[in-house]
């Protein structure tokens, strides 16, 4: 690539003067110790670039997050790109574009008279001046305790993840921001609490694309409508994700595998499972939207279906493709590029359904005492946990064959082994093609899995099995073999990834970067983590705070004016299986943690907002869509098979709309009746079809 000589000379001879200070433009922080100045020139479809290093001969001042150093200093920043294709070199010397570029530098507080030294394009991407590549690995529903040797949980062999942790730092005390896929992933990507971005459940993800109300996620619009999704976006007030911020700062973004967050992220290179479930499972959504009624389905002895003879058992539609594609990209030299790369590789496995084969089952050691969880007596179960177990139809799990429970747990652990091997092929390709000296690797999960503990499967609670997640990272400046016991959360991922890339967040994230913790051995500013949950299998809003060895779980009232369920408090050092709620005997600890939790989250406002959302969604996408009062009762029997006259009265009182029982008799007389035909599959289509 040949650079235009006049243009290079103009840039090289430029001097930064105080007169340019008034025209300051936004900047993207690009790294910690150099300044990178890019001017792009397009000629005949080809691109030429000048990359200039600015060396300071005076201390830096008034620059946040930068160490103040005395003497010669080099800093790196990436500034907005300007198309100069229509400008001659002589015009650039005095152009507005040049003035704005120089003003960017001055806005950072640089001393007058800094010299500009041109860097040849061939130098970019080599040595310490290159911005680091980032490999982002993710699994779904992996219990974070499986890697924590300090916990009594069963430890399946996960050699690849353990090797990655040994190459960097492992955070055993990491928690989900919300124990469900979409709110956990969306809040992680946006850097804020689920209640702040109004992503409550698995039905609606981030509706806007990069924070623009004029650009709505196409999957959201297809599932609901453009107008509805714009209303979601207005309420959510999401300014984009950390992935968008990386792309805006110059990173090339490639995404593979499960995303389930919306935000239009499917427009990046790669292939992702982008949008959550949407309208395809309306009866289950209707169960969530009516959760304030406290209704639960009839209880049967659960069958615990498993499949253990599948050739390719990974549960995600893109799991194998994601592992293979990420491996091939790394082997082909993706991380040798001079352009900084962000490669996202995400698996659904070990998320249910519980599928495996003999190859992975054979790698699970004998479970021994871990074959069957120790369930507390039913009379001692907290009402919130009883509701969750009942709505999952698992309240009678203790009546199931112990062999079936043990086999299901063994299948789950084998799925974790498969996830380890799929990620292992990606990690091996990284080791072959790159180095921890110039690229970061971060691995994490969105939430955990009960695996039959607490009479539950899946997530949806704040028990350790569901709330804990794996978290580890390695890369430049991170010492090997660290195990840091500081409490961490998915909220910390947003600022950490941007810190890795040297990008200044455009918002104030609720988490904090973990790089000072791992590189400089600083303590996390907050010695606690919080989380919230407002979705299916939970009768009301629930909130968690962990500080030290205490974990408090608090609940909002089911109905306005009603008393809330009492909180639960566990001492995780003395009681790692959370069998003993010590809240009644520890009022001072409960009060202290409740006050701290209330300072961090407006629990009352968050719960009220979600309950209003539930009612609006139910009214629009179920009650009216299934025929309003005329067919309300029969439609609700699609949600709860035992829906009764008393339940209908509860529903009518809660909704403020009638749900008369008499239509039950009509449905019984007309066996062909099916409320599906009144349900519009909330799309642009005008046809009414059954999508149950």
628-636 vs 645-655: helix crossing angle, rounded to 10: 130
End-to-end CA distance of the chain: 58
Task: HSE, CB side, 13 Å, CA atoms: give it for residue 111.
Answer: 16
Give Cα 411 to chain centroid, integer Å: 26
Return the SS3 of 17: coil
Q: What is the pLDDT of residue 129?
A: 60
Residues 459, 395 share a domain: yes
Answer yes or no: is 304 within a domain.
yes
Residues 449, 368 share a domain: yes
Residues 121, 155 share a domain: no
Answer yes or no: is 197 within a domain.
no
Q: What is the pLDDT of residue 278?
A: 57
- The reply to whether the predicted model has a pTM over 0.85 is no
User: What are 276-329's pLDDT values in tens digits?
Assistant: 765 556 888 999 999 999 999 889 899 899 998 888 888 888 999 999 999 999
Percent of the chain with pLDDT over 70: 76
Domain count, the chain: 4
CATH number for 537: 3.30.1120.10
Residues 173, 61 share a domain: no
Q: Among 309, 332, 218, which residue's Cα sits nearest to residue 683? A: 218
DSSP alpha helix (H) spans, 334-448 = 358-361, 383-391, 402-433
Residues 556, 440 share a domain: no
Answer yes or no: is 615 within a domain.
no
Return the SS3 of 663: helix
Q: What is the pLDDT of residue 662?
A: 64
Residues 328, 429 share a domain: yes
Residues 479, 334 share a domain: yes
Residues 111, 141 share a domain: no
Contacts of residue 668, Cβ cutoff 8 Å, sequence gap at least 6: none
Residues 297, 175 share a domain: yes
**Which is more confident, 197 or 37?**
197
Answer yes or no: is 543 within a domain.
yes
Q: What is the pLDDT of residue 562?
A: 86
Boundary (domain end) residue, out of 523, 555, 587: 523
Q: What is the pLDDT of residue 363?
A: 98
* pLDDT exceeds 60 at position 19: no
Contacts of residue 6, Cβ cutoff 8 Å, sequence gap at least 6: 88, 89, 90
* pLDDT exceeds 90 at position 659: yes
Boundary (domain end) residue, out of 129, 146, 163: 129
Residues 302, 325 share a domain: yes
User: What are 177-232's pLDDT values in tens digits?
Assistant: 999 999 999 999 999 999 999 999 999 999 999 999 999 999 999 888 999 999 99
Range of the domain at 656: 624-678
The per-residue pLDDT of the chain, averaged, comes to: 82
User: What are 442-463's pLDDT values in tens digits?
Assistant: 999 999 999 999 999 999 999 9
Tell me whether residue 162 is exposed, middle or buried, using C-beta atoms within 10 angstroms of its C-beta: 0 to 12, 13 to 18, 19 or more. Answer: middle
Residues 406, 307 share a domain: yes
**What is the spatial distance between Cα 105 and Cα 115, in angstroms, rounded to a whole number?**
12
Mean pLDDT of 87-92: 30
The two three-digit tokens of residue 217, written as one number:
């996620």
Answer yes or no: is 422 within a domain.
yes
Answer yes or no: is 230 within a domain.
no
Residues 146, 125 share a domain: no
The two three-digit tokens of residue 296, written as one number:
């639960």
Helix (H) or strand (E) holding 227: helix 226-236
Answer yes or no: is 685 within a domain.
no
**What is the spatial distance between Cα 360 and Cα 157, in angstroms, rounded to a whole number?**
11
- Burial per residue of 473-488, b for 16 or more beta-carbon CB atoms within 10 angstroms, e otherwise: bbbeebeeebebebbb
How many C-beta atoms surround the C-beta of residue 528 within 10 A?
A: 18
Residues, the chain = 692
Boundary (domain end) residue, out of 547, 564, 599: 599
Helix (H) or strand (E) holding 93: helix 89-93
Answer yes or no: is 367 within a domain.
yes
* pLDDT exceeds 80 at position 639: yes
């Amino acid at each position: 690539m040949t650079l235009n000589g006049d243009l290079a000379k103009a840039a090289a001879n430029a001097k930064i003067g105080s007169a340019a200070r008034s025209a300051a433009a936004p900047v993207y922080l690009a790294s910690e110790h150099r300044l990178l100045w890019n001017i792009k020139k397009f000629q005949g479809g080809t691109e030429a670039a000048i990359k200039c290093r600015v060396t300071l001969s005076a201390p830096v001042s008034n620059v946040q997050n930068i160490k103040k150093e005395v003497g010669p200093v080099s800093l790196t920043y990436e500034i907005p790109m300007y198309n100069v294709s229509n400008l001659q070199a002589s015009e650039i010397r005095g152009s507005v574009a040049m003035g704005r570029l120089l003003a960017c530098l001055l806005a950072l507080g640089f001393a007058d008279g800094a010299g500009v030294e041109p860097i040849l394009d061939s130098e970019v991407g080599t040595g310490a001046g290159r911005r680091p590549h980032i490999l982002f690995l993710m699994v779904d529903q992996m219990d974070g305790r499986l890697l924590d040797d300090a916990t009594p949980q069963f430890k399946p062999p996960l050699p690849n993840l353990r090797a990655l942790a040994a190459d960097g730092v492992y955070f055993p005390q990491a928690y989900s921001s919300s124990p469900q896929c979409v709110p956990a992933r969306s809040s992680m990507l946006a850097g804020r609490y689920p209640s702040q971005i109004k992503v409550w459940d698995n039905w609606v993800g981030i509706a806007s694309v990069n924070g623009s109300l004029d650009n709505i996620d196409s999957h959201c619009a297809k599932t609901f409508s453009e107008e509805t999704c714009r209303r979601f976006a207005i309420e959510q007030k999401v300014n984009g994700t950390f992935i968008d911020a990386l792309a805006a700062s110059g990173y090339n973004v490639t995404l593979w595998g499960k995303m389930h967050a919306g935000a239009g992220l499917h427009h990046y290179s790669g292939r992702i499972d982008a949008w959550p479930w949407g309208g395809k499972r309306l009866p289950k959504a209707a169960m969530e939207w009516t959760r304030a009624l406290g209704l639960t389905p009839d209880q049967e002895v659960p069958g615990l279906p498993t499949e253990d003879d599948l050739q390719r058992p990974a549960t995600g539609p893109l799991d194998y493709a994601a592992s293979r594609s990420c491996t091939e990209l790394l082997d082909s030299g993706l991380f040798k590029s001079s352009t900084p790369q962000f490669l996202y590789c995400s698996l659904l496995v070990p998320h249910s359904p519980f599928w495996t084969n003999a190859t992975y089952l054979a790698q699970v050691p004998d479970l021994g005492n871990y074959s069957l969880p120790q369930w507390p007596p039913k009379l001692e179960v907290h009402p919130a946990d009883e509701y969750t177990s009942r709505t999952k139809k698992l309240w009678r799990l203790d009546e199931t064959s112990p062999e079936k429970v043990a086999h299901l747990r063994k299948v789950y652990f084998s799925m974790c082994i498969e996830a380890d091997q799929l990620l292992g092929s990606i990690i091996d390709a990284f080791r072959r093609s790159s180095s921890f000296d110039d690229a970061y690797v971060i691995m994490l999960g969105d939430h955990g899995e009960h695996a039959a503990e607490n009479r539950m499967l899946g997530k949806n609670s704040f028990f350790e099995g569901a709330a804990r997640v794996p978290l580890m990272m390695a890369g430049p400046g991170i010492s090997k073999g660290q195990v840091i016991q500081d409490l961490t959360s998915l909220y910390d991922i947003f600022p950490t990834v941007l810190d890795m890339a040297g990008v200044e967040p455009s918002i104030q994230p609720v988490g904090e970067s973990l790089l000072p913790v791992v590189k400089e051995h600083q303590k996390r500013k907050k010695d606690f983590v919080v989380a919230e949950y407002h979705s299916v299998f939970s009768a009301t809003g629930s909130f968690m705070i962990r500080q030290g060895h205490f974990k408090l779980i608090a609940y909002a009232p089911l109905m306005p004016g009603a008393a809330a369920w009492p909180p639960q408090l566990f001492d995780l050092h003395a009681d790692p299986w959370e069998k003993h709620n010590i809240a009644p005997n520890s009022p001072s600890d409960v009060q202290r943690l409740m006050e701290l939790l209330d300072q961090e989250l407006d629990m009352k406002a968050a719960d009220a907002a979600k309950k209003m959302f539930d009612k609006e969604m139910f009214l629009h996408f179920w009650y009216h869509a299934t025929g309003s009062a005329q067919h309300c009762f029969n439609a609700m029997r699609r949600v709860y098979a035992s829906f009764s006259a008393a339940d209908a009265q509860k529903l009518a009182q809660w909704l403020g709309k009638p749900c008369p029982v008499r239509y039950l008799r009509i449905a019984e007389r007309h066996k062909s009746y099916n409320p599906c035909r009144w349900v519009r599959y909330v799309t642009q289509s005008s046809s009414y079809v059954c999508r149950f």
